[in-house]
Amino acid sequence: MSRPSLAELTGQIRQLPAMPLIALEVIRSLQHSDVDVEGLARRIAQDQAIAARVLRVANSPFYGLQKRVASIHDAIVVLGLAAVRSLVLAASMLTCLPGGSARGFSRDAFWRHGLGTALAAQALARVLQRPAEPVFIAGLLHDIGRLAMVSLYPEPYAAMQDQAVREDLPPSLLEAGHFGFDHAEAGASLATLWNFPPAIADAIGRHHTPGECPPGSLAGIIHYADAIARALELDGEPDGQVPHLDQATIDGLGVSWEQLNGVLEDTASRFESCRLMLG
What digits encode the pLDDT tens for the residues 196-218? 899 999 999 999 999 989 889 99
Instruction: Kindly state whether residues 194 and 68 are assigned to the same domain.
Output: no
Instruction: Kindly state whether residues 152 and 249 are assigned to the same domain.
Output: yes
Q: What is the pLDDT of residue 121?
A: 97
- Of 79, 96, 113, which residue is a domain's last? 96
pTM for the model stands at 0.88
Q: Cα-Cα-Cα-Cα dihedral of 217, 141, 112, 261, to 10°?
A: 10
Instruction: Kindly state whether residues 51 and 151 are assigned to the same domain.
Output: no
Classify residue 244 by its DSSP letter: P
d(CA 58, CA 71): 10
Residue 223 is part of a domain; what is its CATH number?
Answer: 1.10.3210.10
Residue 150: count of CB within 10 angstroms of its CB: 23
Residue 100 has pLDDT above 90, yes or no: no
Instruction: Kindly state whether residues 119 and 253 are assigned to the same domain.
Output: yes
Instruction: Kindly state whether residues 21 and 103 are assigned to the same domain.
Output: no
Instruction: Kindly state whether residues 4 and 34 are assigned to the same domain.
Output: no
Instruction: Kindly state whether residues 46 and 182 are assigned to the same domain.
Output: no
When divided into structural domains, the chain yields a total of: 2
Instruction: Kindly state whether residues 68 and 200 are assigned to the same domain.
Output: no
Instruction: Kindly state whether residues 111 and 135 are assigned to the same domain.
Output: yes
- Of 96, 114, 149, which residue is a domain's last? 96
> In terms of pLDDT, which residue wins out, 13 or 258?
258
Residue 15 has pLDDT above 70, yes or no: no
Q: What is the pLDDT of residue 217?
A: 94
Instruction: Kindly state whether residues 88 and 153 are assigned to the same domain.
Output: no
Instruction: For residue 207, give the nearest of 136, 131, 142 by alpha carbon.
Output: 142
The segment with the largest mean pLDDT, out of 61-65, 86-90, 206-210, is 206-210
User: Are 148 and 13 a contacting pair, CB within 8 Å?
Assistant: yes
**Domain assignment of residue 81, given as a range:** 17-96
Mean pLDDT of 14-32: 79
